[in-house]
């Protein structure tokens, strides 16, 4: 039986060439999750499906097909986000996270909305706000797929995190009080939980927490963008 999806809000996570003139697109749709589809002739200069190659675009797409690989019958741009060269890597990073963590056709509307919120900020001149939104996105993504992080309580005693104390973070169990110099300041954890990223120490600690959590839950799946940046010395 042929399935039809009409005028669905969608974002392009990944695209790859298919034959000479076509593309296979991995869409992140609002109500259907990740769906793969063939965009026939999308690489032709006059094809209306060339819009699928526009970075930072919120699309409305119509798809149809019988199997897991559908066909794109229509697409239009409903919103075009202002992106800078310096922030494009953030968009690539989000796309890769979603491709690694989300199952096909498993909808997550809150993650979709958070993605749009990040895109709206990527054209701003505030690294602090962008970094805050990226960490917020990572937190929500992990929570939505069952790997939520408790930023308010110590894992062993269930006592509230205290500003003057330090804690070690375990992705599998949470925060544990420590006297180690490797510990994360309680103040930074509290600031992170409140979305207060004014302090550079908080931004560094939040990035460390999320990197450890994401790497742990990815297992043996490497993030290609991170490996690329490491090789470049970025």
- Tokens encoding 230: 């490491």
Q: Transcribe 159-205 into DSSP letters.
A: PBP-TT-EEEEETTTEEEEE--TTPEEHHHHHHHHHT---SHHHHHH
227 band by pLDDT with thresholds 50, 70 and 90: low
pLDDT exceeds cutoff 50 at 231: no
Closest CA to 60 of 48, 47, 45: 48
Residues in the chain: 234
SS3 152: coil
pLDDT of 233 reads 40
Residue ranges matching CATH 1.20.1440.120 in the chain: 88-232
Of the options 2.60.40.10, 1.20.1070.10, 3.40.50.300, 1.20.1440.120, the CATH number for the domain spanning 88-232:
1.20.1440.120
Q: Where is pLDDT greater, at 87 or 150? A: 150
Pairing of strands 166-170, 184-185: antiparallel
pLDDT of 40 reads 96
Can you give the pTM of this predicted structure? 0.90
pLDDT of 83 reads 83
The CATH fold assigned to 3-80 is OB fold (Dihydrolipoamide Acetyltransferase, E2P) (2.40.50)
Residues 6+ apart with CB under 8 A from 140: 110, 111, 114
Among residues of the chain, what percentage have pLDDT more than 90?
A: 79
Residue ranges matching CATH 2.40.50.140 in the chain: 3-80
Mean per-residue pLDDT, 109-121? 94
């Amino acid at each position: 039986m042929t399935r039809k999806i009409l005028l669905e809000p969608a974002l392009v996570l990944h695209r790859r060439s298919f034959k000479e003139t076509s593309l296979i697109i991995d869409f992140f749709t609002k109500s259907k999750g990740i769906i793969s589809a063939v965009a026939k002739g999308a690489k032709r200069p006059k094809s209306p499906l060339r819009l699928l190659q526009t970075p930072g675009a919120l699309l409305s797409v119509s798809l149809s097909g019988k199997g897991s690989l559908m066909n794109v019958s229509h697409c239009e741009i409903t919103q075009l986000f202002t992106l800078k060269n310096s922030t494009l890597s953030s968009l690539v990073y989000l796309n890769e996270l979603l491709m690694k963590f989300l199952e096909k056709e498993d909808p997550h509307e809150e993650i979709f909305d958070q993605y749009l919120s990040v895109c709206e900020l990527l054209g701003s001149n505030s690294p602090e706000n962008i970094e805050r939104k990226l960490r917020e996105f990572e937190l929500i993504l992990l929570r939505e797929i069952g790997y939520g992080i408790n930023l308010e309580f110590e894992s062993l005693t269930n006592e509230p995190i205290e500003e003057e104390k330090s804690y070690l973070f375990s992705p599998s169990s949470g925060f544990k009080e420590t006297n180690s110099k490797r510990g994360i300041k309680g103040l930074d954890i509290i600031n992170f939980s409140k979305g207060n990223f004014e302090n550079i120490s908080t931004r560094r600690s939040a990035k460390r927490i999320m990197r450890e959590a994401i790497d742990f839950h990815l297992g043996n799946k490497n993030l290609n963008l991170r490996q690329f940046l490491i090789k470049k010395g970025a």
